[in-house]
Structure 1
Amino acid sequence: MKSVRVDALAARLRLYLELIRFEHTLFALPFAYVGLMLAANGRFDAGVWFWVTVAMVGARTAAMALNRLIDWQIDALNPRTAGRHLPRGLVKPWETLLLALAGFGLLTWAALNLNQLTARLLPVAVFFLTTYSYTKRFTWTCHFWLGLTIGAAAAGGWIAETGSFAPAAFILWAAVALWIAGFDILYATQDYDFDRSHQVHSLPARFGIAAALKVARWLHAATWVLFLMAGWFTGAGPWYYVGVFLVGLVLIYEHTLVKPDDLSRINQAFFEANVVISTSMFFFTLIDILTR
């Protein structure tokens, strides 16, 4: 009987992890570590690493749970998203809300255990994490709001280590923000017809798919330049720039996968290429720090 209850709890946990797409934490968490490492400049504080990880897991959980809860009626109408957990009734709205509150609890716990600035910035973080899901209801700039929200992870890592802002922190924030905005624009091309017919705002719906792909390319070009600038501002070594070079190649490859008349490989461009980008920046920054 006990094993049955354990199996049921494990199955429920899997549902929750699927609901919030926990694997997508790989987009932002590595950049929080990059910000932390560049700020630490060779120092290692296990406590800071632990609390940054807790903060990122909490923020990601809260943001995605709220996103699913806020958007579930729109998701139910969209053929691409109708199979998600809330539209299918696999998870209840109250469970999703509790999951979001638990995420905010983890974020708060971590922020209070890092430094005074992370604690003071906590309300700002909660505001952005809560509101970005609403922006698609009134502006095609929603992708940039998402980028600004997730990109804060890189600055957050820096602030967690130093307790202060610095130009490099803002540059990293901008780089990740434009990267996120660019691939969110790519991802939104899938819903071009649905968004236009249901008054859901997005850059592709407003300007067309071809124009949206061009904007995404320019955003990712700017991302690459900003990563170079971040390295220069922090005195990064050659291994960091090897990572930036690799990121440039992956970004080019990502944009070869998506064409105005062929969006069939958008998921490959969205998940696989972007995981390579985030993990490459993490590992090459780590190697650079360890070999200085």
Structure 2
Amino acid sequence: MQWDPGGATESRSKLYIYLRFLRIEQVFFSLPMAYMGAFLAIREIPPIQVLILMFFSLFFLRTAGMTNDNLADREIDAMNPRTKSRPLVTGKITVREAKLLITISLIGFFITAYLINLYALIFAPIVALIVMSYPYMKRYTAFANYHLASIQGLAVFSGAVASLGLYAKSFTQLVTGIPWLFVISTVFWAVGFDLYNHIPDADFDKKMGLHSFAVLLGDRALMFAGLNQLISVLLALFGDIQFNLGIIAYIATILHGLIMGYAYYSATRGNFGRAFYYNIYSSIVLGIGIIIDIIV
């Protein structure tokens, strides 16, 4: 299996290499989920300055997290035929550059969190700790897949905090206003697409003593991925009901599920690259659909 979303084999510009290194397209599947959380929490359009700050906050945190992930795994990636073309492995990006990028990005994340609201700043260290600790979890437990998935759920959570934190009069009001069904739904969705990354590497990971549900479950891992995504769709439908959303949200949720179904089918055919990217498309459809439903 040669597919790798973080590989950069082409002789291209430094900017292109950085974009591949950061898997920049993944920012854009997290962004609709974060905005979905922001719109759901207050049932209206958040202030434009908050939406702009959310974009930069998410960009900075994903940059720090992805860079740290590559840095922590660079020796493992060098031994894996699927990931040996990653820029930190080939030297197209140096360790010094990576550490500098992490530092700058974390500073940018905390500054934008401060500018959003006090609650966002309070939660920022917890969110950053969860994101930055992920690469080390697979050395100890298969639940690393859920750790990664929780980071995607935090996009919805953080979006809600960014908008609701402007109006909440207490911490309790803030926490109870979080669209938890959509947060949890996102976690189950993300477990599925993360396994599309891990299943092709299951034999290698087992040899290296790394943990994932792909290693733990073997041939049943793909079915487990599909089960998680089925739970995700059901939770999203319950969320539509809880928030009394309209027909656009229901259509988006059903399309979200159908696209994930096609992704699962692609994975059963061995096309894990297509499965991975169609899961990205499914999240965009869900996030944008719910946002449009709330606007109209």
Same fold (TM over 0.5): yes
CA drift of 1:42 comes to 2.2
Equivalent position to 2:201, from 174, 191, 194:
191
Q: Deviations over 1:168-214 (max 9, x none)?
A: 52222111111111111122111011111111111111220x21111
Say yes or no: does 1:216 pair with 2:225.
yes
1:43 and 1:108 map into 2 onto residues whose CA distance is 24
Corresponding residue of 2:130: 128
Is the aligned partner of 1:269 residue 2:275? yes
Aligned partner of 1:204 among 214, 224, 229:
214
Aligned residue for 1:257, secondary structure, equals: helix
1:43 corresponds to 2:56: no
Q: What is the DSSP-based 3-state SS (H/G/I as helix, E as strand, rest coil) of the residue aligned with 2:84?
A: coil
What CA deviation, in whole Å up to 9, does each residue of 1:121-167 have, x standing for no partner? 11101111110110111111110000112210001101100012236
Runs of 4+ in 1 over 6 A off after TM superposition: none
Q: Percent identity?
A: 27
- Corresponding letter in the other structure for 1:47: Q
Q: In the alignment, which residue of structure 1 is the partner of 2:238?
A: 229
CA distance, structure 2, for counterparts of residue 257 and residue 136 of structure 1: 25
Tell me how far 1:84 sits from its aligned partner: 0.6
**Structure 1 match to 2:255:** 246
Q: Structure 2 matches for 1:26-37, cutoff 5 A?
A: 26-37=28-39
- The number of aligned residues is 277
C-alpha displacement of 1:238 = 1.1
Q: Do the aligned partners of 1:35 and 1:158 also contact (CA within 8 Å) in 2? A: yes
Conserved 8 A contact 1:168-1:230: no
2:170 equivalent in structure 1: none
Partner of 1:289: 294
SS of equivalent to 1:235: coil
The one-letter code matched in structure 2 to 1:145 is H
CA distance in 2 between counterparts of 1:206 and 1:245 reads 31
Alignment of 1:1-292 (within 5 A): 11-163=13-165, 164-166=174-176, 168-208=178-218, 210-259=219-268, 262-263=269-270, 265-271=271-277, 273-291=278-296
Shift of 1:28: 1.2
Q: Give the whole-Å Cα distance in 2 for the aligned partners of 1:64 and 1:174.
A: 22
Shift of 1:87: 0.9
Alpha-carbon offset, residue 233 of structure 1: 2.3
Give, in angstroms, the shift of residue 44 of structure 1: 3.5
Q: Structure 1 residue 48: deviation in Å?
A: 0.9
Secondary structure of 1:137 counterpart: coil
Indicate conservation of the 8 Å contact 1:26/1:278, yes or no: no
Equivalents in 2 of 1:86, 1:26: separation in Å? Answer: 23
Shift of 1:18: 1.6
Separation in 2, partners of 1:169, 1:110:
22
RMSD value, Cα: 1.5
Return the TM-score normalized by structure 1. 0.91
Question: Given that residues 186 and 212 in structure 1 are in contact (C-alpha distance below 8 angstroms), is that contact kept between their aligned partners in structure 2?
Answer: no
Partner letter of residue 244 of structure 1?
T
Taking the aligned partners of 1:14 and 1:166, their CA distance within structure 2 comes to 42
CA distance in 2, matches of 1:267, 1:130: 25
TM-score (norm. length: structure 2): 0.90
> Which sections of structure 1, spanning at least 5 residues, go unmatched?
1-9
SS at match of 1:113: helix
> SS at the partner of 2:175?
coil
The residue identity in structure 2 corresponding to 1:182 is: G
Q: Distance in 2 between matches of 1:149 and 1:286?
A: 21
